[in-house]
Amino acid sequence: MSYANPKPMNRHHRVAQSRGGKNSGKNIVRVREDLHRAYHMLFGTEPPEEVARILSETWIDHNMVLIAVPRNHKQFFQHLITNLTRR
Ligand SMILES: [Zn+2]
């Protein structure tokens, strides 16, 4: 990347607006436009659990599995209980 011709950037919503994500604050991150396009080509607007499933089933070492868990401890345990009792 050169200063004379930097890569175009744009804004990504961490939680898609179609899934209730806000149009401000921590929900917005600046990303390279080409990488942003690639991300949505692979994952659309899927939630983190589905992104992890897609990566695990197709793109990474078959001996490994990726999981998505909430950063917040309270949300983490609520997520765990919800998913353990769902099956
Ligand atoms: Zn995006």
- Residue 69 CA to ligand 1 center (angstroms) comes to 20
Residue 52: half-sphere exposure toward Cβ, Cα within 13 Å: 10
> Is residue 27 predicted with pLDDT exceeding 60?
yes
The three-state DSSP-derived secondary structure of 53-64 is HHHHHHHCCCCC
Compute the distance between CA of residue 44 and CA of residue 16 in angstroms, rounded to an integer. Answer: 9
The model's pLDDT over 36-78, given as tens digits with 9 standing for 90+, comes to 999 999 999 999 999 999 999 999 999 999 999 888 888 888 8
pLDDT of residue 5: 75
Number of alpha carbons in the 13 Å side-chain half-sphere of residue 17: 5
**Which band of pLDDT confidence, cut at 50, 70 and 90, is reported for residue 1?**
low
Whole-number Å distance, alpha carbon 41 to ligand 1 midpoint, is 10
Residue 84, helix vs strand vs coil:
helix
Q: What is d(CA 67, CA 76) in angstroms, rounded to the nearest whole number?
A: 12
* Ligand 1 centroid from CA 56, angstroms: 21
Q: What local confidence, expressed as pLDDT, does residue 45 receive?
A: 97
